[in-house]
Structure 1
Amino acid sequence: MEINFLALLVAAVSTLLVGFVWYHPKVFGTLWMKESGMTEDKMKGGNMFLIFGMAVIYAFLMGIILQSLAIHQWGAFSMVGGDAASAKPSYEAFMADYGTAFRTFKHGALHGFLTGLFLALPIIGTNALFEKRSWKYTLVSGGFWIVCFTIMGGIICAWT
């Protein structure tokens, strides 16, 4: 299977768009600032090009692993060691029967949602516990990643 780098890039950039809405002061921005200890002055400092650039790079890396979670055919591809040319005929038969099965935005969004709920939220929650952050912080930050993974999974599964 080939990696669709455009789909991964669009999925990564979608996290910025979700963030612009999610962390807007009229949505969760004010609550997040309060719960994280962030101030307007702290937000003005820093290299925003670097911050947003690294955020896209990190989201791109998340997208790489998300495609293997959202697209079932990656499992068959990985079982043959990533070399379809030397695979047994059973791989070709599987891909002929199921090559495009479950390759929809809806299916990818489901896997993205589950990844956010059962991977991202527990990671953020664990960090928040040790950082002595509130449950509000955990829900705002975890909710953000659940929404992001849902959208990313949909994009990646539908476009790849």
Structure 2
Amino acid sequence: MEINFLALLVAAVSTLLVGFVWYHPKVFGTIWMKEAAMTEEKMKGSNMALIFGMAVFYAFLIAMVLQFLVIHQWGAVSMTGGEIATAKPSYTAFMADYGTTFRTFKHGMLHGFITGLFLALPIIGTNALFEKRSWKYTLVSGGFWIVCFMLMGGIICAWS
């Protein structure tokens, strides 16, 4: 299997699109600003190009890891030591039989949801506890990443 960098980049950029909707004032933006103690004045002094660029970079790193969680066939690749050229015939036979099994947008979304719920949300929740943030902040931020992981997982699983 080869890494589809274009799929990973599209998945990473999708987080910006989700963010534009999720953090819109008519959706969760007003709640997030209040709970994060963010103001329009604080935001005006920001280098938004740098922020968005780094956000896509970080999302790309997430996508790199997410592909191994949403595509089952990477498990077979890892069992060969990552060297497909030297893999045993059983690997080739396995991939011939199961190479496209569970490679749908829907299945990727399922694994994205599971990863978001059991990985992203607890990380955000733990940080929120120590930062003395509210449960609203945790749910808004955690919910954002759950939705992003679902969309990213769907893109990666269906396209890679």
Q: Same fold (TM over 0.5)?
A: yes
RMSD, matched Cα: 0.5
1:118 match: 118
1:37 match: 37
Query: Structure 2 length as normaliser, TM-score?
Result: 0.99
Listed one character per residue, the Cα deviations across residues 13-62 of structure 1 (whole Å, up to 9, x for unaligned) are 00000000000000000000000000000111111110000000000000
1:136 match: 136
Amino acid at match of 2:14: S
1:99 match: 99
- In 1, Cα distance between equivalents of 2:48 and 2:127: 24
1:19 match: 19
The offset of 1:147, in angstroms, is 0.2
Amino acid at match of 1:40: E
The offset of 1:78, in angstroms, is 0.8
Query: Structure 1 length as normaliser, TM-score?
Result: 0.99
- In 2, Cα distance between equivalents of 1:99 and 1:9: 23
Amino acid at match of 1:110: L
- In 2, Cα distance between equivalents of 1:60 and 1:107: 20
Listed one character per residue, the Cα deviations across residues 92-123 of structure 1 (whole Å, up to 9, x for unaligned) are 11101000100000000000010000000000
Amino acid at match of 1:25: P
Stretches of 4+ moved more than 3 A in 1?
none
Task: Number of aligned residue pairs: give it.
Answer: 160
- In 1, Cα distance between equivalents of 2:45 and 2:7: 32
Amino acid at match of 2:7: A
Structure 2 unmatched runs, 5+: none
- The percent of aligned pairs where both chains have the same amino acid is 84
